[in-house]
Structure 1
Amino acid sequence: MNHKILALAALPALALSACTIIPPAVEQAPPPQSDGFAQIGQTIRVGALTIRPDAINEDSRCPMNARCVWAGRVIVAATVMQNGESTFRNFTLGEPASDGLMLDTVEPGRTTLEGAIPPASYRFHFSITPRQ
């Protein structure tokens, strides 16, 4: 008799557990790399900042072993995120911004005058130079 009462008492709990709502899986962006290189669309951590290179606005660098009047430059559009806020900025290779944030390396180097480097091949490194 006790077994029947116990079984009857457990039935509502079993019925309710079958109705559990499972939330859909949320697709999360991969965590930002720390102190490494990022490609277009990838994020990288630089100190307390998260930076995502978004586009190459200019790559006019002189190819290696070529004679050029001007060395050229690379300008990268990037999103800088901190404390839940985002700002869109342009970074020129080797030129520190007023806050010390700098695009310090762009790979690959320009090796030929012919053909553009595919955007997916670029890798960017940023650093922060302390203010003096």
Structure 2
Amino acid sequence: MTKAILALLPAIALASCAVIPKVERTDGFASIGETTLVGSAKIRPDSLIEDSRCPMNARCVWAGRVIIEATVMRGGGFETRRFTLGEAVDGLMLDTVEPGRMTDTQLKPSDYRSHFSVAP
């Protein structure tokens, strides 16, 4: 019995070092730090650079914008890109950012969920 336990110790030690991969999304939606598949590219939003959108419960002269910095992985390489809501970047587009802003609510970067698509 002691030999059996000793034989299992290396396996147990290796199992404790295993890295559990993050689930990768395939629907174009991703929060900060998540990866999603869009066409042949993988996109991982890394940080919220700007959210100057007009709050939904306010009147504004300017609609504002959202800028998200993301890592784009394709063809074995990766690069950092800044995506502005509604504008194409290298054939990809940030087309939705949720939730909408409200005047009485302060959003944290972790609250944001973005959707990316292949640009038309």
- Fold agreement, TM-score > 0.5: yes
* Separation (CA, whole Å) in 2 of partners of 1:118 and 1:20: 44
% identity of equivalent residues: 57
2:76 to 84, 92, 96: 84
TM-score by length of 1: 0.75
* Separation (CA, whole Å) in 1 of partners of 2:23 and 2:77: 17
In the TM superposition, 1:13-52 aligns within 5 A as 18=7, 22=11, 24-25=14-15, 26-52=18-44
Query: 1:20 Cα deviation (Å)?
Result: 9.2
Secondary structure of the 1:38 match is strand
Q: 2:41–2:73: 8 Å Cα contact kept in structure 1?
A: yes
TM-score by length of 2: 0.82
Structure 1: which 5+ runs fail to align? Answer: 1-13
Q: Which is strand-richer, 1 or 2?
A: 2
Q: Rg: which structure is higher?
A: 1
Kindly report the root-mean-square deviation, in angstroms, between the aligned alpha carbons of the 2 structures: 2.3
Query: 1:29 Cα deviation (Å)?
Result: 2.1
* Separation (CA, whole Å) in 1 of partners of 2:27 and 2:88: 17
